[in-house]
Structure formats: structure tokens, C-alpha cells
Amino acid sequence: MPLVRISLREGKSSEYHATLMEQIYLAMRESIGTPEDDRFATITEHKASGFNTSGNYAGVDRSDDLVIIQITMLGGRTIEQKKALYAAIAEKLSRDPGVRKEDVFVSLVEVAREDWSLGNGIAQYA
């Protein structure tokens, strides 16, 4: 049950947004077994003054087209699964909508089963 939060600089089209969300969903399905139709995602656009790419921090030459992806998910996946997820997201986004792999930044936040309520005030996984 991942929750995907995507941040980028303002100015991209609604089609671009939809493609980002779809490609990330497909990458999660393939690499970490995200359930079908588990598509919880948001996109937030930022003005240039409120979006810092950190240039070439850690030897990665980022541009103003950086896409920051934060995925909150249940803990327990292996390092190999996480690496496969990062690679799948970068590959899919590079193909469509054409994001440079250098501009794909992914952060995972792992939480416990009891940390989710999917509606109705119920902890469905607890």
C-alpha cells in the first residue's frame, strides 16, 4: 500500500503529471509487487524559488527538471527489491515522459502495518 508523493517545478502539463504517476505505479507493480489498482499518489508543483535541486550533489548532475519521488510503504522489502524499484522508476520515466535518469530522485519511507488507515477511521492492516 504505497503512498507516492511527487514534487517538481511548476509548468508541466496535466498529461505529464498523469504519465509520471502511471509510470511510477507500473514500476512499483513490477519491482515490489504493489497490488493492482493501488494508485495513491499526489503531485505538488513548486515555484523556482521554492525548489532546490542541490546541483550535482553526490556526483549526480541534476537539472531544473528534477522529479522528487517520496514513497511511503510498509517496511520489510529487501535491498535488492529497493534497488530494483529505483532502477525501474528511472528507466520508465526516462522512456515516458522523457525525464533524464539524473533527474529522478527517490526516497523511501518505511512504516509499520498499524500506521495506515485507508478510510473509515479503521487501521485495516493492524
Q: What is the pLDDT of residues 25-50, one digit of tens each?
A: 999 999 999 999 999 999 999 999 99
Q: What is the Cα 114 distance to its own chain's centre? A: 22
Catalytic residue ranges: 2
In the three-class reduction of DSSP (H, G, I as helix; E, B as strand; rest coil), residue 12 is classed as: coil
- Whether 1 has a pLDDT exceeding 90, the answer reads no
18, β-bridge pairs: none
Distance (Å, whole) CA 88 – CA 90: 6
CATH superfamily, with its number, for domain 3-54+63-115? Macrophage Migration Inhibitory Factor (3.30.429.10)
Q: What is the per-residue pLDDT across 99-114, written as a single tens digit (0 to 9) for each? A: 999 999 999 999 999 9
56-61: long-range contacts at Cβ-Cβ below 8 A with a sequence spacing of 24 or more?
Answer: 60/102, 61/102
**Model pTM score:** 0.96
Distance (Å, whole) CA 32 – CA 78: 9
